Amino acid sequence: MKHLLLIICCFCSTISKAQMPDSVAKTIRPAKDASSKKTVPLFEPRKATIRSAIAPGWGQIYNKKYWKLPLVWGALGTTAGIYFYNVKYYRSLKQAYIYRSDNDPTNDILVDQEYRNLSAESIRSYRNSFRQSVDYSVLFFILFWGLNVVDATVDAHLKAFDVSDDLSLQLKPGYSQMSNTAGISLVLNIGKRK
């Protein structure tokens, strides 16, 4: 758990030091709404990133994507639950292995009732399996936390993306000078027409 907190703190400090490129800063200026003469709310990717790195789901709340909250919290909650389940059994098996392998027959009574019929080698094998599961659950927790941050950042970046009705797909005849052939091209016009 100490290692997890250390990794999260390093990740947050790295993100907070990141600078937003000028090209991105220019694209997310608040736009004027023609009908109401008020500014449209600004979604800054940096704020979404930092908030999501601090608390899972906070970046999604900032981006007003509330439907993503159960997904974020479900993924992190599930991996955290699996982590605590595996740690509980790992500690129990570790203690059982210590009692079983110490060559003192009086300690065999201290072994948990669940593991009394198992040999020391079987207990060790189960212990190693649960230890591996603990490592994987921490890895998946960090991965899902990182996906949460990436999702909030990308979503905030796409808030400034223009999705208008002017997008269209057209078939146009074309001629390739390199291959000296004629053909049909699919053309997607993005942006305003002049």
pLDDT digits (tens, 9 = 90+) for 30-88: 445 455 455 555 778 999 999 999 999 999 999 999 999 999 999 999 999 999 999 99
Q: Confidence band (pLDDT; 50, 70, 90) for 27?
A: very low
Six-digit token string for 147? 């996906």
Q: Is 56 part of any domain?
A: yes
Least confident segment among 74-88, 135-149, 157-171: 157-171
Interhelix angle for 45-54 vs 120-158, to 10°?
A: 160
Q: How many separate domains does the chain show?
A: 1
Domain span at residue 108?
42-161
Q: Is 30 part of any domain?
A: no
Interhelix angle for 69-100 vs 120-158, to 10°?
A: 160
Q: Is 169 part of any domain?
A: no
pLDDT at 177 over 70: yes
Q: What is the pLDDT of residue 24?
A: 43
Q: What is the pLDDT of residue 50?
A: 95
Q: Is 134 part of any domain?
A: yes
Q: Is 21 part of any domain?
A: no
* N residues, the chain: 194
Q: Is 182 part of any domain?
A: no
Q: Is 178 part of any domain?
A: no
Full-model pTM = 0.63
- Distance (Å, whole) CA 51 – CA 149: 8
Q: Is 121 exposed, middle or buried (0-12, 13-18, 19+ CB in 10 A)?
A: exposed
Q: What is the pLDDT of residue 28?
A: 43
Q: Is 175 part of any domain?
A: no
